[in-house]
Copies of this chain bind each other. A is one copy, B any other.
């Protein structure tokens, strides 16, 4: 059984394991106040061309999301998100458990637009019953989205502009950011992210780390109190240096970028095979997740050798997600491609 069901099926990239191993018996202070976190933060600031950014490391994506939002919002504020946003549908109400509503906007291909955000923020400001409704206090996007699509620079610039005009911070969930950065249709760089977002995170869990996300506060003022929130929410790792070590490996010799490209390249092979075979794509994804509609028969035949993520019945068959990652082996993809052809 070859697994294409997710991008967190393996451990860590060998380079990451190597550095964890070689530093294993170093003695460092705890809770992220160690030289490795310092170094990794510095490497990330450089990669983002953001010398003033503040970088904090947390264990996972749900943690990153709930902690950033809980730390920044006032009690009567909520988070604007696409109705398909991870925080809205896949985190068991993690944000609400911190007391905050998610203000869900209709999406297209997993994306929301600057116009929608503008309308949402303006409607609040113009409301005559302002005390009865939740104030939009942060705007949350994912790059890439849940469906593997990417925001393009013009789109992100427009959303960023709206947010700043209304004084609302923009927060981008980059759990799979490497796979957006490497997409063939991507035109957004890490420095663009730091320039346009107030807060974003660089995902490690799904891109070569055992675990870990680097939360970048491009607008430093939003980091105020964040370490208290980390500790309070159970997100401050005792051996915080493990995160610093891993991200130091990721941001050395372009490993992060290379892993992104590896996964995307393989995903494009799969996408091409699906298209050739006439298997309809459900979204036009340029990243490591490919969503397609397989007939029951196609799915049954491929499921004998491969595991995918099955999103249930849709018109024309089943909605299947095929997911590559930094760890996917080229020969496995080649075999899958061949088997798709032979369906």
- A residues with a Cβ closer than 8 A to B are 3, 5-6, 8-12, 14, 17, 20-21, 23-31, 59-63, 66-67, 70-71, 74-76, 78, 89-94, 96-102, 104, 128-135, 205-206, 210-211, 225, 227-239, 242, 310, 327
- Complex alpha-carbon distance, A71 and B76, angstroms: 9
Output the nearest chain B residue to A241 by Cβ-Cβ distance. Answer: B11
Shortest C-beta distance, A321 to chain B (Å), equals 12
Having A12-B24, A75-B229, A76-B231, one finds 5 other A-B pairs with CB under 8 Å, namely A5-B29, A9-B29, A17-B20, A92-B134, A97-B233
**Contact sample, A vs B, 21 pairs, CB 8 Å cutoff:** A8-B238, A8-B239, A11-B242, A21-B21, A59-B211, A60-B237, A62-B234, A63-B235, A66-B233, A71-B75, A75-B229, A76-B93, A91-B132, A92-B133, A93-B232, A94-B233, A94-B234, A97-B232, A135-B228, A211-B242, A233-B233
- Complex alpha-carbon distance, A45 and B261, angstroms: 44
Shortest C-beta distance, A188 to chain B (Å), equals 25
**List of B residues within 8 angstroms of A14 by Cβ:** 24
Q: Contact between B75 and A133 (Cβ–Cβ < 8 Å)?
A: no
Q: Contact between B211 and A237 (Cβ–Cβ < 8 Å)?
A: yes
**List of B residues within 8 angstroms of A11 by Cβ:** 20, 23-26, 239, 242
- Complex alpha-carbon distance, A76 and B70, angstroms: 10
> Which 3 residue pairs of A and B lie closest in terms of their CB atoms, listed nearest first?
A63-B234, A76-B228, A11-B24
- Complex alpha-carbon distance, A236 and B66, angstroms: 13
**List of B residues within 8 angstroms of A242 by Cβ:** 11, 210-211
Residue in A128, A237, A239 whose Cβ sees the most chain B Cβ within 10 Å: A239
**Partner among B29, B60, B135, B327 whose Cβ is within 8 Å of the Cβ of A25:** B327
State how many copies of this chain the complex holds.
4
Q: Contact between B101 and A93 (Cβ–Cβ < 8 Å)?
A: yes
**List of B residues within 8 angstroms of A76 by Cβ:** 92-93, 225, 228-229, 231-232
Output the nearest chain B residue to A63 by Cβ-Cβ distance. Answer: B234
Q: Contact between B59 and A59 (Cβ–Cβ < 8 Å)?
A: yes
Q: Contact between B24 and A3 (Cβ–Cβ < 8 Å)?
A: no
- Complex alpha-carbon distance, A287 and B104, angstroms: 31
**Partner among B20, B94, B102, B227 whose Cβ is within 8 Å of the Cβ of A232:** B94
Q: Contact between A233 and B232 (Cβ–Cβ < 8 Å)?
A: no
Q: Contact between A100 and B92 (Cβ–Cβ < 8 Å)?
A: no
**List of B residues within 8 angstroms of A210 by Cβ:** 20, 210, 239, 242
**List of B residues within 8 angstroms of A60 by Cβ:** 234, 236-238
Residue in A31, A206, A211 whose Cβ sees the most chain B Cβ within 10 Å: A211
**List of B residues within 8 angstroms of A227 by Cβ:** 131
Known: A78-B96, A327-B25. A90 touches B233 (CB 8 A): no
- Complex alpha-carbon distance, A101 and B92, angstroms: 9
Known: A21-B17, A234-B62, A238-B205. A96 touches B101 (CB 8 A): yes
Residue in A59, A74, A75, A129 whose Cβ sees the most chain B Cβ within 10 Å: A75
